[in-house]
Amino acid sequence: MVIGEVGSVSGDSVSTTNDSSSEEEYGKARINDRGRLTIPKELRDELQLEDGTTFKVIREGSDIRLVRQLPELQTLSSGKSQDEWGDEAFRDAGEATFGGR
């Protein structure tokens, strides 16, 4: 699946796009009188979409594509410099994270 792409709405069907450009249908969706569209629960669960998830709405001809907006990454720091931690701490953290690859 393409990272960040949630799916597209074309006519009454909702589908996702993956790397091979194939589509998987998840049923039908209908816009209500307030302009709200419900994404089928199975798709929300698979993509771990929760209340408050935001999307960029893109028009592609007569289709609509929803792209999940990921939150900004934040840098966390303990306040110590690399000199205070020492080279061993950073090497060990990388090895622990990536398994010494």
> pLDDT tens digits for 13-33?
444 444 445 678 888 888 999
Pairing of strands 63-68, 13-17: unpaired
Give the C-alpha separation, 5 to 75, whole Å.
25
Q: What's the pLDDT tens digit per position in 61-100?
A: 999 999 998 877 777 777 777 777 766 666 655 666 666 5
Greater model confidence, 42 or 97: 42
Contact residues for 47 (Cβ-Cβ < 8 A; gap 6+):
6, 16, 68
Residue 10 lies in a domain: yes
Q: What is the pTM of this model?
A: 0.49
Residue 99 lies in a domain: no
HSE-up of residue 9 (Cα within 13 Å, Cβ side):
17
Residue 52 lies in a domain: yes
Confidence of residue 57 (pLDDT cuts 50, 70, 90): very high
Q: Which domain holds residue 12?
A: 5-68
Q: Give me the number of domains the chain comprises.
A: 1
pLDDT given at position 67: 92
